[in-house]
Amino acid sequence: GKVANPQVIVTIAGNTSNAVTVLGDVRNPGRQPLSPNQDRILDVIAAAGGPSRSLHDIDVRIQRDGRAYTAPLSMVTTEFNENVRLQRGDQVNLVYKPRRFSSFGAFNAVARSELPPGPLTLAEALSGVGGLDSNLANARSVLVFRFERPEVAQALGIQQALTTRGVPVVYRLNLNEAEGFFIASNFQMQPDDLIYTPRAGAAEMRKFFEVVQSITRVVYDVSVTSTLNR
């Protein structure tokens, strides 16, 4: 006999082979199908629910054909060339990388501090950790340790060998002079910067710089890099 009120169920299967994998600090990790519109990084992240943390604290790592590409998510959102098109089989990993700097030495407070979403100057960073200890600090030698980009190091005339993190550079600032305060107000802090101020005393300073200069070069004119890193 005939079946009464027949029903047909049609299921549209997505093309699972034309997809990427989204992992890490995203709200809905898993496989995301690519549309015919040549999706970019931000398209796929949005389809996965967006990042689960502040975009300023996240790096995007794309793995493709055994190679890796990494960029801060904040840069991907503001620079069109960084928001690259994805290909099937790509793996998109959102990696939590908090933006912090450290301070130690003759300060009123030794801390590991968060960088705000916007720019932070050296002057603001020093104020945030309570400033220098007026009884102990050598204000003529406020030092910032940083791994610089190769092009910045080259512009500074530094021939130091490149490491996986960049070129090691130490910047020295004299806050006993008025010019030092103006420079500190323009010197932009970067993630993983380390601020150090040694205690006053010629012997300690001499020993410290012997150690530092055996590793990298000390740059005395920090106004140069303030312009380069804008």
Give yes or no for residue 4 having a pLDDT over 50.
yes
pLDDT, tens only, 188-202? 999 889 998 877 765
C-alpha–C-alpha distance, residues 193 and 205, integer Å: 21
Average pLDDT for 118-141: 85
Q: pTM higher than 0.95 for the full model?
A: no
Give yes or no for residue 163 having a pLDDT over 80.
no
19-96 placed in CATH 3.10.560.10: yes
Q: Can you give the pLDDT at residue 226?
A: 44
pLDDT, tens only, 22-50? 999 999 999 999 999 889 999 999 999 99
Q: What is the 3-state secondary structure (H, E, C) of the chain?
A: CCCCCCCCCCCCCCCCCCEEEEEECECCCEEEECCCCCCEHHHHHHHCCCECCCHHHEEEEEEECCEEEEEEHHHHHHCHHHCCECCCCCEEEEEECCCEEEEEECECCCEEEECCCCCCEHHHHHHHCCCECCCCECCCCEEEEEEECHHHHHHCCCCCCCECCEEEEEEEECCCCHHHHHHHCCCECCCCCEEEECECCHHHHHHHHHHHHCCCEEECCHHHHHHHCC
Task: Enumerate the CATH 3.10.560.10 domain ranges in the chain, comma separated.
Answer: 19-96, 100-228
Q: Can you give the pLDDT at residue 15?
A: 56
| Comparison of pLDDT for 133 and 48, the residue scoring more | 48
Give yes or no for residue 220 having a pLDDT over 50.
no
Average pLDDT for 75-101: 93
Give yes or no for residue 176 having a pLDDT over 90.
no
100-228 placed in CATH 3.40.50.1360: no
Give yes or no for residue 19 having a pLDDT over 80.
yes
Q: Can you give the pLDDT at residue 87?
A: 95
